[in-house]
């Protein structure tokens, strides 16, 4: 299956800390606790989908700087196509992520000036040719691509991450374009099932999935009862960073493979549960065969939620 992914790339530095809050000290020595990788929501999704066996077209921006060169080299090394990556930013976005022994994390993202950019519509139209799905991240440079994506006769996936208002001005366009909408339960204005139903009605989404952190994920499909899939723990948790990206990528993979949404979410929860056994947001993705093996050996049950 061919999937177009358009979203952010950044250089990510992870720092393991003893606990939150972090007590002040002028110098700390977290041996083997600092790591740097190429990440960003767009790249995480592109790499996860490619690892699961899809032909990925990846649209993004990088800086014409040393971090941009490093990112471009690493993306190519990992086999993700780079021909639609535009290197015209003065500086590449970066992030710093603190995480503790319980897997909790705090993310600091410096987007540089990427929010002032717009991806060329002509390049989007040529990239989406023959695509089976579009994954459009909620970064500003995708905003003008949304009307074209919504007109396509293929599913559009997006993730608005943290949402405290169903009519949020920044995310409204992305939610209106989505056939499949993902978000977190952090900061919701009402219980997850109520919030999911409200979003589905407001924006005519076919499916809304809410990540519940340690509680798993909730599926709201139009015309069907809600389904709660508990979290899976196939290996010890190192950091929860990137769990939501892994969940959406694997869910999209399952849907494109023809699975029913509830079955796709069960497998996606397992995929995300495995992924968080590593620290970097773009690390720990299973290929399709390994995911099949894992799910056969440890399939999480689901229960309905009223």
Question: pTM of this prediction?
Answer: 0.92
**Tell me, what's the pLDDT at 297?**
85
Query: Which residues does the chain have with pLDDT short of 50?
Result: 299-306
pLDDT, position 101: 85
Q: SS3 for 126?
A: helix
With b for 16 or more beta-carbon neighbours within 10 A and e for fewer, the 143-175 pattern comes to: bebbeebeeeebbbbbbbbebeebeeeebebbb
pLDDT of residue 205: 97
User: Tell me: domain 2-20+33-304, CATH 3.40.1190.20, correct?
Assistant: yes
Helix axes 243-256, 261-275, angle to 10 degrees: 140
pLDDT at 298: 54
- Distance in angstroms (rounded) separating the CA atoms of residues 58 and 54: 12
Task: Report pLDDT for 280.
Answer: 86
């Amino acid at each position: 299956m061919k999937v177009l992914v358009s979203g952010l790339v950044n250089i990510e530095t992870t720092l393991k800390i003893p606990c939150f809050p972090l007590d002040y000290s002028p110098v700390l020595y977290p041996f083997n606790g600092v790591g740097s990788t190429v990440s960003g929501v767009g790249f995480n999704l592109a790499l996860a989908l490619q690892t699961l066996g899809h032909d990925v077209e990846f649209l993004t921006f990088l800086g014409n700087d040393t971090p941009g060169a490093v990112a471009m080299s690493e993306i190519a090394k990992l086999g993700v196509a780079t021909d639609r990556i535009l290197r015209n930013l003065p500086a590449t976005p970066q992030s710093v992520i603190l995480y503790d022994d319980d897997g909790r994390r705090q993310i600091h993202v410096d987007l540089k000036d990427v929010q002032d950019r717009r991806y060329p519509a002509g390049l989007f139209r040529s990239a989406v040719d023959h695509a089976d799905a579009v994954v459009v991240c909620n970064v500003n440079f995708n905003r003008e691509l949304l009307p074209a994506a919504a007109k396509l006769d293929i599913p559009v996936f997006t993730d608005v991450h943290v949402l405290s208002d169903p009519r949020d001005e920044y995310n409204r366009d992305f939610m209106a374009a989505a056939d499949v909408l993902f978000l977190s339960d952090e900061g919701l204005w009402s219980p997850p099932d109520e919030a999911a139903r409200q979003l589905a009605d407001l924006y005519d989404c076919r499916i809304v999935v809410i990540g519940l952190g340690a509680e798993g994920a909730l599926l709201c499909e139009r015309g069907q009862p809600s389904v709660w899939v508990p979290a899976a723990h196939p290996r010890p948790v190192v950091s929860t960073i990137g769990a939501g990206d892994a969940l959406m990528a694997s869910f999209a993979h399952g849907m494109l493979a023809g699975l029913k949404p509830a079955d796709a979410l069960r497998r996606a929860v397992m995929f995300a549960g495995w992924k968080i056994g590593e620290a970097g947001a773009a690390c720990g993705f299973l290929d399709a065969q390994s995911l099949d093996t894992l799910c056969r050996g440890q399939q999480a049950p689901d229960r309905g939620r009223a």
